[in-house]
Structure formats: structure tokens, C-alpha cells
Chain A
Amino acid sequence: MSVEFIVEALVKIGLVLVINLTTVAYLVLAERKISAFIQNRLGPNRVGPWGLFQSFADIGKLFFKEDIVPSAANKFVHTLAPLISITVAMSTFAVVPFGNTFAFNGHDYKLMIGDVNIGILFILAMTSLGVYGITLSGWASNNKYSLLGGLRASAQMISYELSMGLSVIGVVMIAGSLQLDKIVIKQGEYLWGVIPAWNIVLQPIGFITFLIASFAETNRLPFDLPEAEPELVGGYHTEYSGMKFGLFFLAEYANMITASAVIVTLYLGGWQFPFVERFALPALAVTLLQMGAFAVKVALLLFFFMVVRWTIPRFRYDQLMSLGWKVMIPLALGNIIVTGFFLLFH
């Protein structure tokens, strides 16, 4: 392991962390603005022009708030839980490629933090670790509503993890690799020379099941049962205040970004910008275009996440479970079989 390698990795980690956290801050603002526009309101517009500094004001407020730990709570786990949540949410982004391999000064720079050859497994493993943050926070708070929220979260995330993993298998079968970089490069091909061979075209059912499962994994509406305000006060973060609550809040939005990035990588062609290689553009321009394409795709998906939140009401718990086990898993399994037959006879 050379010094260069460590420096390169640290620079990439720093960049991704800073960009991610800034995006999270503006995502909170965007969510409030979009919900306001959908409800014919204006949304926050007092702090800075167009309310642009609202999130930073909110974070500052959270830092100055008193950190209340209930006397009956398990203090160590109560503090640990938000840390687990935010760490997991941030580190999943480590394997997502946000651009093609980029040659500069005779050295190949990969535009992803860690090129793990089991990228998809890493993502699935990290998202399942996210359950711990929520479940432990619910348990450590020593509050019946928190506990209910935590238990719901674990049940929900475990059931949807299955359909998530099963729908990914179709993508893996097409690409022949678990490496995210290779999956994206595979999607750079064309069907009959005109349609980009993105996996959303090849795997429409897998895409839908994966999309629904990621909604459930990120605890977003219509699957936000762990924090269902009308039933559970605030769910798992009822007993949290100050920046600990802030960490859960950040983790929710960081999870959203990661989920969108993963969906884009697996199904929407990742950083592929269709037909860009047919024009003779300089390498740097191509790389920037591809990174831009990735950002735009993620942003559109995030917008979709928000519009869905303000459109669909919350599922009932039994509906959630029956959807997960009776609809999603059979669909994902069927998708694998159809993909297998297709690959066998193609």
C-alpha cells in the first residue's frame, strides 16, 4: 500500500463526504420546498435568499439544544445508536462509482472510493447493518413507542432486504459480476444500436421491486412505519433530542441519497451518458459529462422519492408485511427465473 494510494483514497473520501453532507443539508430544504409547492405553500424563505441557509440554521439550533437522555435509558446504547445509523448511511456510498476510470498523468484514477469486487454484497450488508441503529435506539430509549418503532423497523427491513437481494440477482446475472463498475460498463451497450441497454429496460420488474424495497429500506413514506407519527409519537427517535436526533435525521436523508445512487448504478445506467462516445470529445469533458449525468439521475430519483412521499399515504403494518412476503418476493423470484431462461436461450 503506497502513500499515493492512501492520499488518493483520503481525497476521494473527503470529497464524497463533503458533497454528501452538503447534499443532505440541501435535500432537507428541497423536501420542505417541494412539499410546500405541492401543498400550494411557499416553504421556508426567511433564512437567506430563497431560504437557502435554512438547513444550516437548523443544524446550528440542533447543536445548541440540550441533549436529554431519559434516566431509564441505557446510556451507552442510546448514544451508540445514532452513530451506527449515520456511519452506515455514509459508508454505503463507498462502493458506488460516480464516474468512469479516468486516466491522468499516466495513472488510472477510479472515480469511486473502494473498488470492491463484491460491491453489491457490500451494499446489502451495510444496509442491513442500518437496522441496528434504529432497533438499538428503540430498545435503549426504554419507551414503549420507541421500542415498537424499533421492532417494526427490524421486521420491515429484514423482509424487504430479501426482495431487494433477489431483485439484484437479475442484474448480476446480466452483468456477470458483482462489481458495480462492471455492471455500469455493461449498461453502456446498446440494444439494436439505438436504445441504451440500461437495466431498467432489461429488468423492468426487477427495477420496480428494487425501487419499492429501497423505499422500505430507507424508511420513507409510504413505508415509514418505524416513525409513524400518528401512532408512535415519533417512533424510534421519540427520546432523542439535539444533535443525536439530528444524526438520525441526517442518516435518513443520507440513506435516501445512497439508495438513489445505488438504483441509478444498478438500473439507470450509472454514470453512462448515452451516445457520448460517438462524438470525439476530450477525455476530461467526457468524464465531467458522465459525472454530471450521474448527479442529474440521482437528483431526479430523489425528486421522485419526495413526490411519492407527498402523494401516497402510509401502509398499514399487515399490508406492509403481505406486500413484502406475498407480492415482492414471488415477483423477484419470477424475475430471476425469466432472466435465467432468457440468458440461457439467447
Chain B
Amino acid sequence: MEKYLEKSVPVRKKDLSFWQKLYIPAILQGMKITMTEFFKPSVTIEYPEVRTVMPDSFRGRPILVAENGTERCVACGLCARVCPALAIEVQAGETELGKERYPERFEINMVRCIFCGFCEEVCPEEAIIMSQEYELVFTSQKEALFGKDKLVKPIEEVRTRLDFLRKSR
């Protein structure tokens, strides 16, 4: 117990020397640091002119992956089920193709979306993934409802994210 007490109380072993009491050397040292920082390049990214490319681990707005022109989604509805913000709405329709269903309507309410990435995690087809896009601007609630026209993206554009997901899985 006493051992711990001794540890927690800082004890000044000896008084400050005269040189330390002057404070002026310490101030000059501080100013040296400020001046070296002064000449270092700035870390600012001037946003509207320069746009950062986000790393693959970035969770931007969710998109639907399209392969050969049609989306991979089979409208199982797992993403809508897992979505904690209830942002996703899927309506399934039948197809003539090998797979049985496709999303007739796929809507994500971007006002509700919290970018948690659960939909991406739960998707069995790797059909919905988080993209690197972070610019989301809408002027009305209606505009924030992203339908298939805005969500579907060809697979070539999101290849790096898919690779990243495979690697981390």
C-alpha cells in the first residue's frame, strides 16, 4: 500500500537550479520548437479544390455492385433486417435468369443511414458494399431516398474495396 502511495505522489528530488529558475533558456527552447514548426509544410487539405481519396477501409455511402449490367443482389432482405437504423427497404421480384429473385425496388434512406456497414457484413452475395464516396448532399428528405438509379455501380469501380473485404475476412 505504502509502495503505491509513494509512486503516485510526484516528489521533486532536488530544487530547480539557478539556470532553470531563469526560465529564459526554457522559453528560448520553446520558441525554437515553434520556429521549426513554422517552416514545416502545412497538413491542410484544401477541400473543394483537393479531394482526398479515402483508403479501402473507409466506410462511405453504401452501393449495390453490378456485374455485367445487372446487380448481384438477390433481394434476400438480410440487409434490411440487420440495418439498425431501418434505412433499407427491399422489394423482390421474380426473374427468368438462373437466380430466382432480383430487387424490384431497393431504397436506402441516406438521412437514416449511420454507415455502420452491417449490411455489407451480412450480405451473402457481396452485393451491397460501402464505397469510398463521402460527399452526400441533399436539400430535401425526398432527395435523400437513394433508389437503384443512384445505388447501382459497376463492379470495376469498387474492385479495391471488394479485394480489401476478401483480405480482411
Considering the chains assembled together, what is the distance between the CA atoms of A287 and B96 in angstroms?
94
Interface string of A296-333 (1 = CB under 8 A from B): 00000000000110111000000000000000000000
Given contacts A34-B38, A38-B37, A40-B37, contact A308 B44 (CB under 8 A): no
Contact bitstring B32-65, A, C-beta under 8 A = 1, else 0: 0111011111111010000000000000000000
The B84-98 residues at the A interface (CB cut-off 8 A) are none
- The answer to whether B34 touches A42, judged by C-beta atoms less than 8 angstroms apart, is no
| A-B contacts at CB below 8 angstroms, number | 37
Q: Indicate if A41 sits at the interface (CB-CB under 8 A).
A: yes
The CA-CA distance from A311 to B23 in the complex, in Å, is 13
Determine which of B24, B31, B33, B38 lies in contact with A37 in the assembled complex, contact meaning CB atoms within 8 Å: B38
Residues 24-42 of A contacting B (Cβ, < 8 Å): 34, 36-42
The answer to whether B137 has its CB under 8 Å from any CB of chain A is no
Contact A307–B34 (Cβ < 8 Å): yes
Question: In the complex, which residues of chain A have a beta carbon less than 8 angstroms from the beta carbon of B27?
Answer: 308, 311-312
- For window 111-166 of B, CB contacts with A under 8 Å fall at none
The answer on a CB contact under 8 Å between B34 and A311 is: yes
**Residues of chain B lying within 8 A (CB to CB) of residue A208:** 24
A37 contacts across to B, CB distance below 8 A: 37-39, 42
**Structural contact, A40 and B42, CB atoms closer than 8 A:** yes
What's the interface size class on A, roughly?
A: 10 to 19
**B10 located at the interface, meaning its Cβ lies under 8 Å from any Cβ of chain A in the complex:** no
Task: Give B21's nearest chain A residue, CB to CB.
Answer: A327
Report which residue of A37, A41, A310 has the largest number of chain B beta carbons within 10 angstroms of its beta carbon.
Answer: A37
Bound-state Cα–Cα, A42 to B49, Å:
14
In the assembled complex, the CB of A302 is this many whole angstroms from the nearest CB of chain B, namely 15
How many chain B residues have a CB neighbour from A under 8 Å? 16
| Structural contact, A310 and B34, CB atoms closer than 8 A | yes
Q: Are B46 and A39 in contact (CB under 8 A)?
A: no
**Is B69 among interface residues, defined by CB-CB distance under 8 A?**
no
List B contacts of A41 (CB < 8 A). Answer: 42-44
Binary contact track A87-98/B, C-beta < 8 Å → 1, others 0: 000000000000
List, in ascending order, chain B residues with CB within 8 A of A40's CB: 37, 40-44
Q: Which residues of B contact A42 (CB under 8 A)?
A: 42, 44, 46
Residues from chain B with Cβ under 8 Å of A312 in the complex: 27, 30
Chain A's nearest CB lies how many Å from the CB of B18? 13
> Is the pair B44, A311 in contact by a Cβ cutoff of 8 Å?
no
Expressed in whole angstroms, the minimum distance between the Cβ of A311 and any Cβ of chain B is: 5
Question: Could you tell me the distance between the alpha carbons of A226 and B4 in the complex, rounded to whole angstroms?
Answer: 42
Complex: how many Å from CA A41 to CA B38?
10
* Nearest chain B residue, comparing its CB with the CB of A222: B27
User: How far is it, in angstroms, between the C-alpha of A308 and the C-alpha of B23 when the chains are bound?
Assistant: 14
B35 adjacent to A39 (CB under 8 Å)? no
Bound form: Cα–Cα A308–B34 in Å = 9
Establish whether residues B42 and A38, one from each chain, have CB atoms under 8 Å apart when the complex forms. Answer: no
Contact A38 B34 (CB under 8 A): yes
Q: Which of B27, B34, B35 has the most CB of A within 10 A?
A: B34
Q: Are B42 and A307 in contact (CB under 8 A)?
A: no
CA distance A310 to B44 in the complex (A): 19
Q: Which residues of A contact B33 (CB under 8 A)?
A: 311
The distance from the CB of A198 to the nearest CB of chain B, in whole angstroms, is: 19
Decide: A311 and B38 in contact? CB cutoff 8 A: no
Q: 1/0 contact trace for A3-47 toward B, CB 8 Å? A: 000000000000000000000000000000010111111100000
Question: Among the listed B24, B38, B43, B46, which residue makes an inter-chain contact with A38, where contact means beta carbons less than 8 Å apart?
Answer: B38
**Bound form: Cα–Cα A307–B43 in Å:** 20
Q: Report chain A residues within 8 Å CB of B37.
A: 37-40
Chain A residues whose C-beta falls within 8 Å of the C-beta of B41 in the assembled complex: 40
Which residue of A is nearest B24, CB measured?
A208
* Contact indicator A308/B31 (Cβ below 8 Å): yes
Contacts of A36 in B (CB 8 A): 42
A41, A308, A311: which has the most chain B beta carbons within 10 Å? Answer: A311
Closest 7 CB pairs of A and B: A42-B44, A311-B34, A311-B30, A37-B38, A40-B43, A42-B42, A311-B31
Q: Could you list some 22 contacts between A and B, CB below 8 A?
A: A34-B38, A36-B42, A37-B37, A37-B38, A37-B39, A37-B42, A38-B38, A39-B37, A40-B40, A40-B42, A41-B43, A41-B44, A42-B42, A42-B46, A307-B35, A307-B38, A308-B31, A310-B34, A311-B27, A311-B30, A311-B33, A311-B34
Task: Report which B residues bind A (CB closer than 8 A).
Answer: 24, 27, 30-31, 33-35, 37-44, 46
In the complex, besides A39-B37, A42-B46, 11 extra interface pairs with C-beta distance below 8 angstroms are A34-B38, A37-B38, A37-B39, A37-B42, A40-B43, A42-B42, A307-B34, A308-B27, A308-B31, A311-B33, A312-B27
